[in-house]
Structure 1
Amino acid sequence: MARANLAFAVPIGSNSAMKALHDPQMLLAEGLTRIREEFAVPGGFPAPVQAAADAAAQRRPGAHADRTALPFVTLDPAESTDLDQAFAIEAAGADWLLHYAIADVPWFVGDGDAIDAEAWARGTTSYLPDGKAGLYPASLSEGAASLLPDGDRPAIILTTRIDPAGEARLDGAERALIRSRAKLAYETVREADLPPGFADLAARIGRAEDRRGAARVDPPEQQLEPNGTGGFTLAFRPLLLSETRNAALSLAANLAVARTMLDAGTGLFRVMAAPDAAAEAGLRATAQAFGLRWPAEMPLAQFERRLDGTRPAEAAFMLAVRRAGRGATYRPYTPRELPWHAALAAPYAHATAPLRRLADRYVLRAVLAIANGQPVPQDVSATFERLPKVMARAANRDGQIERAVIDLAETAMLANFVGRDFAATITDVNQGQARIQLADLPIVATVPANHDVPGDTIRVRLASASPAQRRLEFERLT
C-alpha cells in the first residue's frame, strides 16, 4: 500500500501570499479545522501582544523623510490587506530606478517587546485556504504598518537601479513616509494603471535571469473545483502576467540587497542547492510520465524555462521540480563561502516581506545601516546567527501544514475513484519502495518496488481514499 503526497510550490521572489490551494467555496472546511487543531495553528494573539500592537499602531513617525510626492502603488491579490511593498518607477538615463517601499515593521516593533517575542515564536505567517495565522496582529499587519492607500505610511525605501542589461544594484535606502496612490489587483489591473517602465523593467530582469542560467519557475496555483458528481478535481490556475512581472520587481530588490550585504561582509542569505544527479534522473522519468519531450543533452534549467504553466502536464512538472529540490535555507554571511541560490544563479536575500517573515525585519535594518555608511548594529549581526534555526522551524511547520492541506484535497478529489486503475511511471527507488508519478494527475505516491528502475511504467489501483485521515492507498497491478 502507499500514501500519496504532493507538496506546494512557492514562487521565488513573489510578493503575493503563499501559493496555497484555493478553495473559495470552502468545500474542505471540516478537514481544514482538523488540520488547524493538529498543527496548533494559532487562532489569535495573547492579550498582551494584541494590546502592544494596538498601542504601536497609534505611533506617529517623526524622523522619516517625506516622500509622499512619489506616485507609489501596490499590486497584490485583490483580497490582500497585508501589503508589504509599494513601488514607484523613475527613468534615469538608460536605467530605471525602482523605488521599492517596504513596510517599516522595525519602526513599529522593538527588540524584546511582547510583539517581538510572539513573532520569534511564530517565525512566519501561516496560510491555509480558509485564512491565515499572522506573524503580527492585524492592527499592524493589515492596518498601521500595511501600505494601504488610505493615508501616509512609514516605509523603508530601497532604491534599486536596473541597467539595460537587467542588472540590479542598490542606490540607497532610507526611512520615509509614503502615500500609496492605488491598491491594484492582479486580477483586474490594466496596463494604463501601472507606472511607465513597469513592463520594460520586468523584461530586463527576466533577460538577466536567462543570461545567468537561472532556473526559477513560477508554478501555477492549485484550485479545488466541484466536478458536478459530488466529487472534486484539482485544476491549475497559471500565474497572470501581472503577477510574474510584479515578482520580478521583488526579485531585483532582493538581489540588490544580497549584493549590498555581501560587499559589506555581513548579512543573512537564502541559499539553495540544485537538484542532484539522482533527483534529475527522477525528474526525467517524471517528464516521461507526463509525455514531455526533454532532450537528453538539455540542462534542467534550460528545460524549466521552456515550461508553460497553462498546460496541465507542464504545470504538474513545475511542481515536481520544486519537490525534487533540496529546499532553500537561511545562512549568515561567512567569509570565503559564497552564499549561492541555485534556482536564481546568484546570491539572494529576503528583505521585501517583513509583515510575513521574521528574518526580513533584520535584513532591512542591516541594509539601512550599510546604505547610509553606518555599522550594522551588533544585535542585528548576532541575530543573523540565530535566525536560520527559527526560520527553519517555521518552514518545517508551514511545510507540514501545506502537505496536509494538499493531502486533504487529493483524498477529496479521488474519494469517488476507489477501485480505478491508473498508469504511473517510476521516478525513484529507495529501500524497497518505488516512488511513482501518476500519468494523468499531479500526484506522487509510493508502492513496493519490484526490480524497478526510474522510467519504468506500471499500473496501480486506488485501494482507498480517506479524507478524514488524508490518506490515499494504491496497490500495484504490474
Structure 2
Amino acid sequence: MKAIHDPSGALASGLAAIRQQFQVPEGFPPEVLAAAALAAARTPGQEHVDRTDEPFVTLDPATSTDLDQAFHIEASGNDLILHYAIADVAWFVVDGDPVDAEAWKRGETQYLPDGKAGLYPPALAERAASLLPDGPRPAVVFTVRLGANGQARLDAARRAMIRSQAKLAYDSVRPDQLPADFARFAERMNAAEAARGAARVDPPEQEVEALGGGRYALSFRPLLASERANATLSLAANLAIAEALHQAGTGLFRVMAGPTAAAMARLRSTAAGLGLDWPEHVDLKALERTLDQRNPDHAAFMLAVRRAGGGAGYAPWIPGVTPWHEAISATYAHATAPLRRLADRYVIRAVLAIANGKAVELEVEAAFQRLPAVMAKAEALSGQIERAVIDLAETVMLQGREGETFRACVTDTDGDSARVQLLDMPVVARARIAGAAPGQRVDLSLAGVDSKQRRLQFAPVS
C-alpha cells in the first residue's frame, strides 16, 4: 500500500473540487430529512412475521453502517437453504413522498474517501432500515434453495422481523463466526459458475482510503476470500430472483454484452505482451478463471478485460426476449442492495408480489420502464467520480517525482494515445506513444504533475 502524505491539503481541497464539479449533494433537503424521520418511526405491521430467534448475521466492510443483507444457511437433505434478509426499504419509503422523490434524483449512493452521498437519509439508511445488530429490524427474507449442482431456486419471499446476531467484518471474520455451510455454499456456486462458462472479472481495484491526519493510502486491493465467498450469496439470490421474475413475465434485469471482435483482438495482443499463455482454442472466460489478482501481469489483463466490455445496464422484461448477462452467463437481476441502489427497491416489491400469488403493482411496472435511464445516469456519474478521485490521488502521490523513470505496460491504445499501468505502483494513466501496442512494456518519464487538473504527463524515455 502506498501512503500519500498530503501536508499541503491538495487531496482534501481536490476532493472538495470534485464534489463541486460533479454536484455531489451535501446532506438532504429539510423536507426530505423530516419525511425520513417520520418514516423511521413507522412500526412494522402484521405482514412482518417474527423471525427474531433465527441466527442471522451480517458481513460487510468494518466501517459500514448501511447494512443491506443478513443471512443464515441450513442444510436440507442434499440442498443448502439460504435465508437472505434484505433491508425492507419499501416499508419506510412511500411512492411519491419526499424521500422517494429525492432517491429518484440520486439513483444510487455515491462514495468518496471523505464521505458518501447516500441514496437515503441516515435516519433510514444507517439506522431504522439498516440491519444493524442493535435490535429487531423489518426485512424481506428470500428463501433460496441451492442444489448439489449449484442451481439456485427461489422458494419463498416474505416480510419478517429479524435480529442480526453479529456485525461481522471482511478483514477480521473467523470461520467459526459464520454458518457451518458458508464455505460449502460458496464452493457450489463457484463450481456452477465454471460449469455454465461464466467468468466474473474481479480485478484489484484502485482504492483511496483516508488514514487520518491528512494522510491517505492508494493501492490495488484484491478482494479478500471472505468478500468473494459472501458475494456468492447475493449471486445465488439474484439469479433465483431473476429466473422467478422472468417466468412471471415482469421485472428489471441486469444485462451485459460481451466484447466485440475488435476488442477481442486487442485483448489477445495485450495477453501476448503480458506473457500470458492464451492458446487459440481457449475462450476468454476460460482464461479469466485462471487469473490471479495478486499477479501484476494478471491484474493488468483483468483491468483490460473490464474496459473491453460494453458495460452492464438495466432492461425491463420484454415478451419473447431473454435478458442476458454475458459475464455471468445467465439471466440476472439486482435485488440485494436496496439501501444503495434505487432499482433494487422495486425489484423486491415485484418479487414479494409474485412469490405470494399477487399481481405486481402498476407503480412498480411503470418504474421498471423508467429505471434503466435513471440508473445508467447514476452509474455513469459514479464512474466519473471514482476516476476523478483516483486521478487526484495519483497526482498527489507523484508530486515531486518529475523527471523520474517508471516501468509501465500498455493495456490499451487509441491511435497514439495509450493507456498504461505502472508496474511498481497502483497508477493507471495515459501517454503519447507512437505505434504502441497492447501488452508492450515501456519506460516512461514523468514530465508533469497537475493536481488541480488531476493530470499526469508521461513521455517515452528516448
TM-score, normalised relative to structure 1 = 0.89
Which of residues 67, 78, 90 in structure 2 aligns to 1:106? 90
Paired residues of 2:271 and 2:439 also in contact (CA < 8 A): no
Superposed counterparts of 1:323-362, under 5 Å: 323-362=307-346
Structure 1 residue matching 2:253: 3-state secondary structure: strand
Paired residues of 2:270 and 2:412 also in contact (CA < 8 A): no
Aligned to 2:459: 475
5+ residue gaps, structure 1, are 1-20
Paired residues of 1:429 and 1:449 also in contact (CA < 8 A): no
Aligned to 2:35: 52
Aligned to 1:33: 16
Which of residues 57, 67, 78 in structure 2 aligns to 1:94? 78
Paired residues of 1:23 and 1:225 also in contact (CA < 8 A): no
Cα distance in structure 2, aligned partners of 1:327 and 1:22: 31
**CA distances 1:136-188 after superposition (whole Å, capped 9, x unpaired):** 00010000000111111110011100000111010010111111111111111
1:284/1:233 Cα in 2 relative to 1: closer, same or farther (>3 Å)? farther
TM-score, normalised relative to structure 2 = 0.92
Give the deviation of 1:82 after TM superposition. 0.4
Which is bigger in relative contact order (C-alpha 8 A, separation at least 6)?
1
Superposed counterparts of 1:164-183, under 5 Å: 164-183=148-167
Percent identity of equivalent pairs: 60
Aligned to 1:322: 306
**CA distances 1:320-352 after superposition (whole Å, capped 9, x unpaired):** 322222110000011222111011000110000
What letter corresponds to residue 322 of structure 2 in structure 1? L
Cα distance in structure 2, aligned partners of 1:170 and 1:49: 35
Cα distance in structure 2, aligned partners of 1:231 and 1:189: 27
1:307/1:456 Cα in 2 relative to 1: closer, same or farther (>3 Å)? closer
5+ residue gaps, structure 2, are none
What letter corresponds to residue 143 of structure 1 in structure 2? R
Give the deviation of 1:24 after TM superposition. 11
1:235/1:278 Cα in 2 relative to 1: closer, same or farther (>3 Å)? same
Give the deviation of 1:425 after TM superposition. 4.9
Aligned to 2:252: 268
- Between 1:277-286 and 1:368-377, the stretch displaced more is 277-286
Cα distance in structure 2, aligned partners of 1:357 and 1:125: 7
Which of residues 108, 111, 116 in structure 2 aligns to 1:132? 116
What letter corresponds to residue 197 of structure 2 in structure 1? G
Cα distance in structure 2, aligned partners of 1:214 and 1:347: 12
Cα distance in structure 2, aligned partners of 1:195 and 1:430: 49
Aligned to 1:153: 137
1:377/1:130 Cα in 2 relative to 1: closer, same or farther (>3 Å)? same
Paired residues of 2:3 and 2:215 also in contact (CA < 8 A): no
Superposed counterparts of 1:77-92, under 5 Å: 77-92=61-76
Give the deviation of 1:378 after TM superposition. 1.3
Aligned to 1:213: 197
Paired residues of 1:236 and 1:315 also in contact (CA < 8 A): no
Which of residues 147, 166, 174 in structure 2 aligns to 1:190? 174
Which of residues 35, 51, 56 in structure 2 aligns to 1:67? 51
Give the deviation of 1:251 after TM superposition. 0.6
Cα distance in structure 1, aligned partners of 2:4 and 2:407: 28
CA RMSD, Structure 1 to Structure 2 (Å): 2.5
Give the deviation of 1:449 after TM superposition. 6.0
Aligned to 1:381: 365
After TM superposition, where is structure 1 displaced by more than 6 Å over at least 4 residues in a row? Answer: 21-27, 230-233
Structure 2 residue matching 1:180: 3-state secondary structure: coil
- Between 1:309-318 and 1:171-180, the stretch displaced more is 309-318
Aligned length: 455
Paired residues of 2:3 and 2:217 also in contact (CA < 8 A): no
1:200/1:332 Cα in 2 relative to 1: closer, same or farther (>3 Å)? same
Paired residues of 2:258 and 2:327 also in contact (CA < 8 A): yes
What letter corresponds to residue 142 of structure 1 in structure 2? E
Aligned to 2:285: 301
What letter corresponds to residue 85 of structure 1 in structure 2? Q
